Amino acid sequence: MTIYLNGQFMLIADAKISVLDRGFMFGDGVYEVIPVYSRKAFRLSSHLQRLQHSLDGIRIPNPHSEAEWMALIAQLIAANQPEDQYLYLHITRGVALRDHAFPNPPVPPTVFMMSNALIHPPAHLLETGVACVTAEDNRWLRCDLKAISLLPNVLLRQAAVEAGCAETLLVREGGFITEGAASNIFMVKNGTLYAPPKDNLMLPGITYDVILELAATHGIPHEVRRITLDEVRHADELLMTSSTREVLPITQLDGKPVGCGKPAAMFTQLYSLYQTFKQEVMRA
Ligand code: PDD
C-alpha cells in the first residue's frame, strides 16, 4: 500500500512519525474519508470544503490549496491498486514538546493520506437491513468538526458491536437523535423523509447532502428538523448513511423491529437513486 506522508509517497511499512506528534499525544488533528469509485473521488470539493471547516474549527492553517490537494489525491489514487478505494486524510498540529497549548512558534502540520479498498456493504445487508442500539450522546459540542479525537465514537460503536449490532444511534439530552457513532441517521414516517438539522451536534455528512438533494430532485417529501427518540421508536423506516456504507436500512432498534422489520419503500427508492446518481456523476 502506497501512502503519502509530509510531502512524500512511500510504502506504509516505511512511514514513521514522531511519538511527540500532537495527533498521537492529544488527538489534536482532523481527518476526512473520501470514497473513490472507478478511480474517481466522489464529491471531492465538498470533502475538501468540510476539511477546511474542520481545520478552521481547530485553528490549523490548511497546508495545501484545493488544487494541491486534488493533485496529491490523484497521485495517491493512481499509486494504489483497487478501482474503488476509500481515502483517509489526516492532519495534525505537528510535532512539539508536550504542552497542551499550541506550539509557539507554530510547527508544520503532519499530513498523512492513505487509501484502502472500498468494501461495498454485502448484498445480504441490503436485503435484511442492520440492527442498531441507542445510547446517550456523550460527545463534546463541536461534533460538526471531523476531529481525530474519537474516543466517545469508539466506545459508542463498540457498544453496538458487543450487542451484535451495526451502529449506535446517539440521543442528546432532551431526547433527540443527532446521528450514529460514524454515520448520519434519517427517519421515514408516513412517506416523508426526516433528517436532523446540521448544527454543532452532528457531522455534516457528504452522503447526507446527497440523499437530501436526491429527495428534492425526485419530489420525495422531506423535512429537516429535530427527530425525537420517541418518533424514532415509532418510525416506518430508519436509514443510516456514510461514505463507506452509502445508504443502509436499519430494520431493528434496541431489539425491536423498525416498521415492518424489513427494508421498505423509501430505502429501496433512495438506494436505487443513489446508485444511479453515483454512476452518472462518475461517468461525467
Ligand atoms: N465517518 N457522522 C459521523 C460521526 C461520521 O463519522 C461519519 C462518517 C458520518 C457520515 O459522513 P459522510 O457521509 O461524509 O461519510 C456522520 C467516516 C466514514 C469515518 O469516520 O470513517
Which cell goes with 151?
A: 474516543
Say yes or no: 138 and 254 in one domain: yes
Q: Cα separations (Å) of 268 from 104, 124, 191?
A: 53, 14, 13
Q: Is 255 helix (H, G, I), strand (E, B) or coil?
A: coil
CATH number of domain containing 205: 3.20.10.10
Strand 130-136 and strand 246-253: the pairing is parallel
Say yes or no: 251 and 177 in one domain: yes
Say yes or no: 89 and 127 in one domain: no
Q: Report CA 10 to chain centroid distance, whole Å.
A: 26
Residues 91-137 have pLDDT tens digits of 999 999 999 999 999 999 999 999 999 999 999 999 999 999 999 99
State in Å: Cα 45 to ligand 1 middle.
Answer: 16
Say yes or no: 197 and 255 in one domain: yes
Top mutation candidate among 31, 89, 183 for ligand 1, by most atoms within 8 Å of CB: 183
Statement: residue 147 has pLDDT above 80 = yes
Long-range contacts of 216-221 (CB under 8 A, 24+ apart): 218/269, 218/273, 220/193, 220/266, 220/269, 220/270, 221/191, 221/192, 221/193
Confidence of residue 249 (pLDDT cuts 50, 70, 90): very high
Quote the percentage of the chain above a pLDDT of 90.
97
Domain boundary among 52, 84, 117: 117
Say yes or no: 6 and 21 in one domain: yes
Residue 184, ligand 1, Cβ within 6 A? yes
Confidence of residue 157 (pLDDT cuts 50, 70, 90): very high
Which cell goes with 77?
A: 489514487
Residue 35 sits in which domain range? 2-117
What's the whole-model pTM score? 0.97
Q: Is 146 a catalytic residue?
A: yes
Mean per-residue pLDDT, 217-239: 98
Single-letter amino acid, residue 46: S
User: Are 217 and 209 contacting, i.e. CB atoms less than 8 angstroms apart?
Assistant: no
Q: Which residue among the candidates 146, 189, 198, 278 is catalytic per the annotation?
A: 146
Considering its fold, how many domains does the chain have in total? Answer: 2
Say yes or no: 134 and 191 in one domain: yes
